[in-house]
Amino acid sequence: MKRFGKSVVSSVLAVSILALPSISFAAGDPEIEKELLKEPANGVSVVVTTPELEQPQNGIAAATAAPYYRGQSKVYAIGGVSSFSDVFTDYTQAQTLSIDRVYVKSKQYINGIYTQSAVDDQKKASHAGIYVAYGARTIGDQEVLGEHKFEQTGYKVTILETTDT
């Protein structure tokens, strides 16, 4: 029995989509928004969001735009799993942005049983990423659970979860 499945990925994606209305798309282009919200190809789980301010600005926009966070997890056909956390200046994901802390933990499951995990914890960085058992042949169904944490002064800590099968 699988511990995680497509329904969990859909649930995580649905939760992240519910959080997206707080994102301010500069262009307001419905085609760009549609592209950002569609389910990723190849079963890769991707969740994106922006953080909440620690203290509301009383309706006044912050002087700088909020960072844009992306968490991603993937199962590899050749064996192994990975999870990555990235920070960008905006939704276009064209330019990275260093923040106080970027953390990711990738847990591998085979046939629903936890097998191993790895962590990457970066300070003053825009990226954290880890591979677990990459290229190691496995017998059975692999799954991955990615735990992503983003910390930046002035914003609430943001935690995302991603999965892939």
Domain residue spans of the chain: 6-164
The two three-digit tokens of residue 68, written as one number: 């844009």
d(CA 80, CA 76): 6
Read off the pTM: 0.68
pLDDT of residue 57: 57
The two three-digit tokens of residue 75, written as one number: 């199962």
pLDDT of residue 58: 53
pLDDT of residue 160: 94
Between 121 and 51, name the one with better pLDDT.
121
| pLDDT tens digit sequence for 79-123 | 899 999 999 998 889 999 999 999 999 999 999 999 999 999 999
